[in-house]
Amino acid sequence: MQDWEALGPDATVVVVGGGHAGVGVLAQLRSQGFAGQLVLISAENGSPYHRPPLSKKALLEGASLSLRPEPWYESNRVTCYTSARVTGIDRAARRVHLQSTSAPEVMAYDALILATGAAPRAWTDPVKGGDALGLVDGVHVLRDVEDAQALRAALLSSGHLVIVGGGYIGLEVAATARALGCGVCIVEQAPRILQRVAPQATSQLLRQLHQSHGVQLFEGAQVVALQREGQKISSVRIQTAEGELCDLQADLVLAGIGAVPRDDLAKACGLEVGNGIVVNAQCQTQDPAIWAVGDVARHRDQSIRIESVGNANHQAALVAAALMARPEPLPLVPWFWSDQYGGRLQIAGLWQTADRWVERQEGAQGRSIWSYQGPRLVAVDAWQAPVAYALGKKWLETGQYPPAEWLAHQDQNLKDWVPQAASGVAL
Ligand SMILES: Cc1cc2nc3c(=O)[nH]c(=O)nc-3n(C[C@H](O)[C@H](O)[C@H](O)COP(=O)(O)OP(=O)(O)OC[C@H]3O[C@@H](n4cnc5c(N)ncnc54)[C@H](O)[C@@H]3O)c2cc1C
């Protein structure tokens, strides 16, 4: 870590962004005994909320879930400015500039935490070019609670949804839209859904699940045109993997093609960015007083950013420990979950370096997919298999796990594996 002394009792920490990461830093600092001033600046209107339900329960039922109860902010002496946006950072003077009706225009900090998250990737209109979002009535994105409300209202009055992008958000919205009675098609340009984020077997499992719920899936397919009646979308023309043109009926389109880090503030003040704000292992930028956490941050030794609640919370704990000059929390085994059709997929570890896989049936409904890189277990994907997930996560954390050959025997009970007796390879 660069040049940093523990925060004094009169210090001011300004957090930009009221998502899981930003609120996590506030909570961690207070729980570690920080006595100084905490300020939260959030561009969104209202109290910070849980983002994952926006494609699941909140989309289905229409109610969002607060991250912390309202009185929490007051009892933890957090000064909150909502509907307030940081527009610039003056690093030399250690000040931020704000646009808001209630907050001061300029605010000083001793430590600045950038927790500005990510924004939906812009989708180019296949017909007109440029950014289709906002130009075409009926094209939605999903990142914040207002997006979810607009999408829910549209789903309730629509019959046919086409989802562009077969990532987790697209798949979760597909499941929710089916529950709301919509016909759903998913168009994925990669050869398989979830190509970037999950092994082949997980894609296969979820493909079958969606097809069994009546979702039409087009993988390796391109959107060629949005057909309109007036401004309204009437169908989406695609070119399938086989090269055929096909018109999918649609009155509503969701562009779920990934997210890009909101790193413009950091870039404008001269901090290093590149697929996110570049940070060290403690989430500190090259400016010792500025830290970045959550979806917007990228570790300088890694090419990917991890977009998950688990990562946001872990980085919040890392930053709080560093600011208070306390011991670092234990390293995180990345974890993630996705809820679809009443079932849950849980993932621990990162599968991308794997070169072989073991698949297992878990009980009547469950599956587990174990990713190995040579002898090394690197990830487990567990569908409706909480025991496999819990054990797999523990095995990854301890570096003691069964060899792939042991797991491949379907009749082995996972709980029977005893670490001392087996030949796991330490991570
Ligand atoms: C629909 C959906 C479903 C998801 N499901 C899952 C899931 O099942 N499991 C999982 O682990 N993860 C899931 N995720 C990912 C997870 O929600 C994110 O990884 C997590 O929210 C990241 O938190 P964050 O605090 O870094 O960013 P965010 O939650 O994006 O918060 C950033 C905040 O900063 C604000 N902001 C930006 N710029 C400024 C500025 N200049 N001034 C003031 N405020 C600013 C933004 O408005 C936003 O409120 C999902 C995400 C989405 C969108």
pLDDT digits (tens, 9 = 90+) for 257-309: 999 999 999 999 999 999 999 999 999 999 999 999 999 999 998 888 999 99
Per DSSP, the three-state class of 58 is helix
DSSP 47: S
Whole-number pLDDT of residue 136: 65
Q: In the chain, which segments carry CATH 3.30.390.30?
A: 342-421
Query: Which residue has a Cα nearest atom 27 of ligand 1?
Result: 117
Which ligand 1 atom sits nearest the alpha carbon of residue 335? Answer: 11
For residue 311, what is the enclosing H or E element? helix 309-323
CB pairs under 8 A, 24+ apart, for 406-413?
A: 407/358, 407/360, 407/370, 408/358, 410/360, 410/361
The alpha carbon of residue 249 and the mean position of all alpha carbons in its chain are separated, in whole angstroms, by 30
* Å from CA of 147 to ligand 1 middle: 13
For ligand 1, pick from 25, 26, 51 the residue to mutate: most ligand atoms within 8 Å of CB: 51
> Each residue of 23-72: pLDDT tens digit?
999 999 999 999 999 999 999 999 999 999 999 999 999 988 999 999 99
Which ligand 1 atom sits nearest the alpha carbon of residue 306? Answer: 19
Whole-number pLDDT of residue 427: 41
Which ligand 1 atom sits nearest the alpha carbon of residue 85? Answer: 42
Beta bridge partners of 216: 185
Whole-number pLDDT of residue 287: 97
Token pair belonging to 135: 């130009």
Per DSSP bridges, beta strands 85-90 and 290-292 are unpaired
Query: Which residue has a Cα nearest atom 4 of ligand 1?
Result: 52
Residue type, 33: G
Per DSSP bridges, beta strands 85-90 and 95-99 are antiparallel
* Å from CA of 254 to ligand 1 middle: 18
Whole-number pLDDT of residue 426: 44
Per DSSP bridges, beta strands 356-362 and 366-373 are antiparallel
Task: Give the span between the Cα atoms of 40 and 230, in whole angstroms.
Answer: 44
* Å from CA of 420 to ligand 1 middle: 41
Q: In the chain, which segments carry CATH 3.50.50.60?
A: 12-119+260-323, 139-255
Token pair belonging to 304: 């990917």
Task: Give the span between the Cα atoms of 170 and 177, in whole angstroms.
Answer: 10
* Å from CA of 296 to ligand 1 middle: 9
> Which residues, judged by CB distance below 6 Å to any ligand atom, belong to the binding site of ligand 1?
16-22, 41-44, 51-52, 54-55, 85-86, 115-118, 142-143, 169, 262, 265, 294-295, 307-310, 312, 336-338
Whole-number pLDDT of residue 129: 56
Which ligand 1 atom sits nearest the alpha carbon of residue 53? Answer: 3
Whole-number pLDDT of residue 135: 53
CATH architecture of 12-119+260-323: 3-Layer(bba) Sandwich (3.50)
Which ligand 1 atom sits nearest the alpha carbon of residue 21? Answer: 25
Beta bridge partners of 361: 367
> Exposed, middle or buried: residue 129 (CB in 10 Å: 0-12, 13-18, 19+)?
exposed
In 3D, which of 348, 338, 416, 411 has the Cα closest to residue 377? 348
Query: Which residue has a Cα nearest atom 50 of ligand 1?
Result: 52
Contacts of 235 by beta carbon, 8 Å cutoff, 6+ apart: 227, 247, 248, 249, 250
Query: Which residue has a Cα nearest atom 6 of ligand 1?
Result: 52
Topology of domain 139-255, CATH: FAD/NAD(P)-binding domain (3.50.50)
Top CATH class of 342-421 equals alpha beta
Per DSSP, the three-state class of 82 is coil
* Å from CA of 400 to ligand 1 middle: 33
The alpha carbon of residue 395 and the mean position of all alpha carbons in its chain are separated, in whole angstroms, by 24
CB 96 within 8 A of CB 15: no
For ligand 1, pick from 309, 332, 347, 381 the residue to mutate: most ligand atoms within 8 Å of CB: 309
Which ligand 1 atom sits nearest the alpha carbon of residue 310? Answer: 11
* Å from CA of 245 to ligand 1 middle: 36
Which ligand 1 atom sits nearest the alpha carbon of residue 309? Answer: 11
> Exposed, middle or buried: residue 85 (CB in 10 Å: 0-12, 13-18, 19+)?
middle
Task: Give the span between the Cα atoms of 47 and 72, in whole angstroms.
Answer: 11
| Residues of the chain below pLDDT 50 | 133, 422-423, 425-427
